[in-house]
Amino acid sequence: MTIVLVGLPGSGKSTVGRQLARRLAIPFVDSDQVIEQRLGCSIREFFEREGEARFRDIEQDTLDDLTRGPDVVLSTGGGSCMREATRAFLHERGQVIYLRSVPEDIYRRIKHDRGRPLLLVADPLQRLRELYEARDPQYRECAHYVIETGRPSVATLVNMIVMQLELAGKLPAPAPR
């Protein structure tokens, strides 16, 4: 089973995804890394050169490919749920987990990270609020489960995801002790 993590930039998709994949003993894939390998440049460079619409085409094609392969934990880019077609096939082919974070929590975690193009603006917290307002409904539409990230540790978030999947019958229940 493919587990797809969606959420705002900085919500913990890659960090939680790596730990979840380790816990489930399946590979972890970061779609942004795959896209950069395919492009031969950073997403930021491509975005500036070709524009957002062209980037979203490539992102959609990449996610389409990645959800047709073997089971993985897939961390997606923050804008991956912007297109209806992408939301539909992610929801259909995987178990989609929305790591829901409020903008203030994200800002606290990533305010010093200069590698996030969407946050390289005069008021990054306001930008996060705008992204949250626009994208939260799309993430919710795509997701099977919403996990509130708040302040729990990564290990706690992984446990919450595993428990949700077990309760839904999407993972084998742990063996009795």
111 is in an annotated binding site: no
13 is in an annotated binding site: yes
d(CA 164, CA 147): 9
32 is in an annotated binding site: yes
According to DSSP, residue 153 is labeled -
How many secondary structure helices (H) and strands (E) does the chain include? 8, 5
Residue 116 phi, psi (nearest 5): -115, 100
**Beta strand extents in the chain (DSSP E only):** 2-6, 28-30, 73-75, 94-100, 145-148
62 is in an annotated binding site: no
76 is in an annotated binding site: no
The answer to whether 63 touches 80, Cβ cutoff 8 Å, is: yes
116 is in an annotated binding site: yes
Contacts of 104 (CB under 8 A, 6+ apart): 125
Which residues carry a binding-site annotation for Mg(2+)?
14
Which residues carry a binding-site annotation for ATP?
10-15, 116
Which residues carry a binding-site annotation for substrate?
32, 56, 78, 135
Which residues carry a binding-site annotation?
10-15, 32, 56, 78, 116, 135
